[in-house]
Amino acid sequence: MQAYVIGLLWFLGVSAVAAVAVVLIRRSWPPDQRADIHDVLSVVFSMTGTLYAVVAAFVFIDVWQIGNDARAATYREAQTVQAIAWSTESSPPELRAQIVALSKQYLHEIIDQELPRLRAGLPVGEEGWTVLDDLRSVSARTPAGADDGGDSPELAVQAVMQAREDRLALGDKRIGSVTWFALLFGALLAGMPILFFRFEHIGTQLAMTTAVVGMITLLLVTIHQIERPFTSTERVPATAYQNALTRLDALDG
């Protein structure tokens, strides 16, 4: 709900600024005095608008793909955590219980601590790495051959560490300040010509102007909202980790 409110406020604010600019420009430079530049503005508006749409589309696709990769990374990490517990089926009961308990502790750390911190833009801390170090130490004590030819628990822990690094790297991924400069400056160039169009009625110009600048504003707000995938519980939910925890609870039981 907060994202919708932010988008609406930006839409109304920028549209209001554009409407005021239209009124001021019409008062200082009446439309009947702009006949000689109307055709030029139409060409400029068409070219800049098309170029900006292409650039914005590529950026939007890029940030959307980051979100898809982040969601896939959570499922990959959750599956590797499950693999640790499954690889200990032939291990001594005490050792297997320790590994399952540490695996569940790691999943709880992600669900209860790390994901909320990522959504708030905060560092995740070192507790997750500490649990994985403990898990690696315990897994190293697994007797040789206890994995029945499959991946050993120690190898499975290494896979979890790699999946964790992938998730954290995606959590820090951004489109960059240069791209934002191109988006913002391009939005200005794409939307400015319509302020000077030669409309006979001010109501028509206000409607067209607010529609154009409002659409550009909503596009920029959307890109900003989805730029960091873990800030949204809808784009990257904790479902993968919760499902893995449920399976481990059943395995432990």
Inside any domain, residue 46: no
Q: What is the pTM of this model?
A: 0.79
Torsion angle of the four alpha carbons 138, 140, 146, 147, in this order, in degrees rounded to the nearest 10 = 100
**Residue 131: is its pLDDT beyond 80?**
yes
* Alpha-carbon gap, residue 80 to 83, rounded angstroms: 5
Inside any domain, residue 56: no
Q: Are the C-beta atoms of 196 and 21 separated by less than 8 Å?
A: no
The answer for 248, left when phi > 0, alpha when psi is -120 to 50, beta otherwise, is alpha
The total domain count for the chain is 1
Inside any domain, residue 124: yes
Confidence tier at 36 by pLDDT (50, 70, 90): confident
Each residue's pLDDT tens digit, 181-226: 999 999 999 988 888 888 888 898 899 999 999 999 999 999 988 8
What's the chain's average pLDDT?
87
Q: Are the C-beta atoms of 144 and 91 separated by less than 8 Å?
A: no
Region of poorest pLDDT, from 32-36, 159-163, 226-230 = 32-36
Structural domain for 140, as ranges:
70-175+236-253
**Residue 1: is its pLDDT beyond 70?**
no
- pLDDT recorded at residue 151: 62
Inside any domain, residue 26: no
Inside any domain, residue 75: yes
